[in-house]
Structure 1
């Protein structure tokens, strides 16, 4: 037995990974190796998985060719011969299923939205890029004419003339402003709702406005900012206007049967991309909607676990008492179970608007002179930061612009000076437009970054022409500076803001190749190893889970992603094309395309088809929390 393997076995035993029933912890510390070997004979069966190569991300043993697993935990890492010798008389089998594959730590979707993905992936997808889903590929929209033609074809194909048509993916900076008259040209009788690519704005035709009762009179009760971010004449509602109109149109947007089917699409899609764990950061704060999510995602057949973060923005808006905000946040744990759970001790706040709608707040004006928007009024943002900070929470903050980032860092510094905290890991989420000076400030304040590198791929070319200009557009998501500063960073897709594909995110970060094929901001490229860590170990660190997930080490959960090649050594431009065989999730071997799900349970019930009860619950919820958003 090598020294490294012996240390691995002892470490795993001390962590309880092997269930040595005849020895307690104190006995282990006092026993000889022969005593431990004897105890192995009564231990549960172990499985040794061999592979062409294992990338562990453990600095003590960065590579291996075998990993031993007991139940849901890793027992040891090394060669098959070392592990067999270490196991001694403990029952074990050698599994060569992955002998021709590469095992990496299980991919972690650090910041994705199954609620939004379930809605968008079950809608009529008409977007700026191709979407390759389990049911086939939906090609990108060419221009506005193509969009309107395809939207009309979708409407004409629907049997029920009164059924609402929800489409997702339109982007006005790519195809031009979308008018109410143009949507009325598709249909004057069918409600049509176009959910923009950003998910932060709606375009409605006249029928949708009429069915929803969206009138000047209805808008009088909205806040000034919500009214300012709405255009009734054009049927356009964005940012805070979107949240204000949502209660009126929710039954047309959220069809529970389609939503549940969309969650099934999301489940299969993300498993095919090698995801073993994910987080929904601040989803819709509705127990009824979460119940539908749980009907799919809590099932024992789910191929990955998912945690849900508290929507701090809504809770701050709903409750005036600081202690009640924290108490109500903690109560959310009861909403989850099975394969879903609350991300305890974490909350999400918002700074500025979306990058896809160029609504973020920037230091220098946009090329056309327009201003971005704030997603939370400053007093509410500062209160939310203070309340969760003082309660010891980790705060994740949606921020896209450099002026927005100034607000975030100012709040962080204020609270650090007022109430210093160690290892707070405040997360700067999205990190689209930033200044080099802000990177140093992030480091000094002890924050970390969760970045979306797809912004460069999808938007740098277009935003170099409109919005930001070439210099700012090419410097988006400056991971090179972050990496050189030694700041921990993770990558996220914000699904559906980018394809929920960790290998593709790595490819985007490492290559920074735009949609036209050029390299944008070469000095901001990420290294391969850090990009892999960004979808594994650093993603776990961003949720304070690095002791359980993110690397292949004894005692940690047996979460692996099984690949056809090694992303650290394959040609950089080929990273996104590496095949995913499947995953091992807490010891369960899950090959892509072979899992059995009770998808008959995804079909809508009669009540859900009628939507009566569901619509009422959504409206009751939305009315009660809408002021949290506006």
Structure 2
């Protein structure tokens, strides 16, 4: 039995023990974690009653309320104001009417996002295919290549020192045309210019950057065949294996530890501004210096959200030949986290096929155009990894984009269910870009769940209707309507920075399926508004086996709320993404967006690590993380 299963068994037994003699304690034990139960029952703790215009609870026994009582970090009572006061009884309480004109919903959960990637991109000059609404202001989407050049030149003019690197993320050649070294030489011939393309799979550099990094044609001649084929020295363009080969030369240019911390703070404030109270890094960082840098910001007690980090099963299984050692090394990762970061115990991330942004998915039917699918794990490694973690009782989250990739995942799940039956395994299908109707039925039958990125439809359906997938497959991407009708639990994720980590925007994408041109793609695959809200709250918690403490506003659960200007379940569906976010209550702590004292309280601890060591490890992890996404 794994350590995770032992602890779950212990918790279940203790919660039913006879010492919990209070009826209230027995009721609370159904939803509270044992370690926090005592806090809730402290009778002299300060009780705060929040009143609101409306509280959307997602509790089927009480869908709406107008007041909620909080003690310490837990919910004590919920209902009308009179009902809540009656539940509080003769204990002292304080009233808080801050939300009197607001709508309170369960705290938003970022089911799947990458803080490291987000921090690196947020520390760059963002010039991308979509608007980025940052705490420092909105960065509008690029109009065209000319707009990119103009804005990059303006950014170059603002750099304070001649040696400063001009580093930008977000350009997408499929949208704006090819980008080459000569284009960047026009921007500057006296400072390094490095462009990290939107997919995060490619770099383009100017001549000065190539010279400073010591990259020559002679050096490239010593690279592997595939690296040379995936590089173009004349154009300053390096992708896939070429990108890995150029990485050691350019890492210090794009991943400075101090700059990373600045980006991490922007990321932190951005996510809080979107109402996020909890999140998860899937396939957590496997470089201690990089995790230490992340922790220097994200473990701080002033963080407005908690973050969990999932094990990267692919790398662990590749590294250790002994099955037992794979699990032992996985469990050791728990020691890497502290404070507001923690290890996602008993969860692991695996990979099936390749990227949607670069059209490297494995498809049942051929691509339209010159594209082909890739496997992110060889079949024998995938099957071994699945078996190891399945037998250890782990919940397995699997990145998969194409329908042929999904066939592989479901085949493996079925094989292991027959070999070693497990109930409530919650194997999670991640991304869910291209699928077939018959696969939805199979997902249901096998007991799997879905974590989908609805932004693919908004960003890519128009383009992929013309090339790659064709109109029918492009419009049916992310077929969540079928999933919802089948009664399969689904959550929504951003994969930030692959999409904005904005739960209201993700809801808008899933409910409306409006593409970048303004049309509706796959009308029958739209989901209900309540389903979309659950997808960023209760079902997101369910996908991480945390529904007992997060995702709805119920007695005994953590007091995690997102405070909105309007109700996303009743506004015009096309206005969901425009609903304002006041802030959050995170484990009983009320935090308004932009709250000055909260901003000032975050002082990242000095890293004390070698800059080049951090840079190389950070970029290697970044590329490993997005290699299957971009």
TM-score between both structures, scaled by the size of structure 2: 0.89
Q: Tell me the residue number matched to 2:126.
A: 125
Among residues 585, 588, 596, which one is paired with 2:598 in the alignment? 596
1:537 aligns with 2:538: yes
Superposition deviation, residue 19 in structure 1 = 4.3
Change (3 A) 1:283 1:245: farther
Q: Tell me the residue number matched to 1:31.
A: none
1:128/1:170 contact within 8 Å kept: yes
3-state SS, counterpart of residue 84 of structure 1: helix
Q: Tell me the residue number matched to 1:75.
A: 76
2:465/2:475 contact within 8 Å kept: yes
Q: Root-mean-square deviation (CA), in Å?
A: 2.9
Among residues 3, 8, 12, which one is paired with 2:28 in the alignment? 12
Change (3 A) 1:204 1:447: farther
1:382 aligns with 2:363: no
Q: Deviations over 1:548-568 (max 9, x none)?
A: 100111111010111111111
1:614 aligns with 2:615: no
Change (3 A) 1:133 1:218: same
Q: For 1:454 and 1:382, locate their aligned partners in 2 and report how far apart those are by CA, in whole Å.
A: 30
3-state SS, counterpart of residue 200 of structure 2: coil
Q: Tell me the residue number matched to 1:179.
A: 180
Superposition deviation, residue 172 in structure 1 = 1.3
Q: For 2:344 and 2:550, locate their aligned partners in 1 and report how far apart those are by CA, in whole Å.
A: 14
1:467 aligns with 2:468: yes
Superposition deviation, residue 547 in structure 1 = 0.5
Change (3 A) 1:412 1:209: farther
1:107/1:276 contact within 8 Å kept: yes
Change (3 A) 1:226 1:446: farther
Equivalent positions of 1:229-248 (< 5 A) are 229-248=230-249
Change (3 A) 1:74 1:398: same
Superposition deviation, residue 373 in structure 1 = 2.4
Q: Deviations over 1:131-152 (max 9, x none)?
A: 1111111121121222233223
Q: For 2:232 and 2:324, locate their aligned partners in 1 and report how far apart those are by CA, in whole Å.
A: 38
Q: For 2:602 and 2:98, locate their aligned partners in 1 and report how far apart those are by CA, in whole Å.
A: 31
Change (3 A) 1:372 1:591: same
Which stretch of the first structure deviates more once superposed, 236-245 or 311-320?
236-245
1:158 aligns with 2:155: no
Q: Deviations over 1:339-387 (max 9, x none)?
A: 1111111121222222222222222222213213222333332332222
Q: Deviations over 1:131-178 (max 9, x none)?
A: 111111112112122223322332343243333222110111101222
Q: For 1:62 and 1:600, locate their aligned partners in 2 and report how far apart those are by CA, in whole Å.
A: 36
Change (3 A) 1:228 1:321: farther
Q: Tell me the residue number matched to 2:412.
A: 411
Change (3 A) 1:58 1:626: closer
Change (3 A) 1:225 1:426: farther
Superposition deviation, residue 415 in structure 1 = 2.3
Which stretch of the first structure deviates more once superposed, 221-230 or 241-250?
221-230
Q: For 1:428 and 1:220, locate their aligned partners in 2 and report how far apart those are by CA, in whole Å.
A: 41
Equivalent positions of 1:18-37 (< 5 A) are 19=38
Q: Work out the number of aligned pairs and report it.
A: 602
Equivalent positions of 1:86-235 (< 5 A) are 86-214=87-215, 229-235=230-236
Q: For 1:496 and 1:464, locate their aligned partners in 2 and report how far apart those are by CA, in whole Å.
A: 23
Superposition deviation, residue 261 in structure 1 = 0.7
Q: Tell me the residue number matched to 1:373.
A: 374
Q: For 2:26 and 2:394, locate their aligned partners in 1 and report how far apart those are by CA, in whole Å.
A: 34
2:296/2:605 contact within 8 Å kept: no
Superposition deviation, residue 420 in structure 1 = 2.3
Q: Tell me the residue number matched to 1:396.
A: 397
3-state SS, counterpart of residue 597 of structure 1: helix
Q: For 1:182 and 1:59, locate their aligned partners in 2 and report how far apart those are by CA, in whole Å.
A: 58
1:558/1:585 contact within 8 Å kept: yes
Q: Tell me the residue number matched to 2:340.
A: 339
Q: Tell me the residue number matched to 1:299.
A: 300
Q: For 2:220 and 2:329, locate their aligned partners in 1 and report how far apart those are by CA, in whole Å.
A: 30
Change (3 A) 1:621 1:340: closer
Q: Structure 1 unaligned runs (5+)? A: 1-5, 22-38
Q: For 1:620 and 1:576, locate their aligned partners in 2 and report how far apart those are by CA, in whole Å.
A: 36
Q: For 2:285 and 2:217, locate their aligned partners in 1 and report how far apart those are by CA, in whole Å.
A: 26
Which stretch of the first structure deviates more once superposed, 614-623 or 298-307?
614-623
Q: For 1:303 and 1:565, locate their aligned partners in 2 and report how far apart those are by CA, in whole Å.
A: 22
Superposition deviation, residue 265 in structure 1 = 0.7
Which stretch of the first structure deviates more once superposed, 369-378 or 487-496?
369-378
Q: For 1:622 and 1:50, locate their aligned partners in 2 and report how far apart those are by CA, in whole Å.
A: 46
Q: Deviations over 1:247-286 (max 9, x none)?
A: 3322122111111111111111111111110011124421
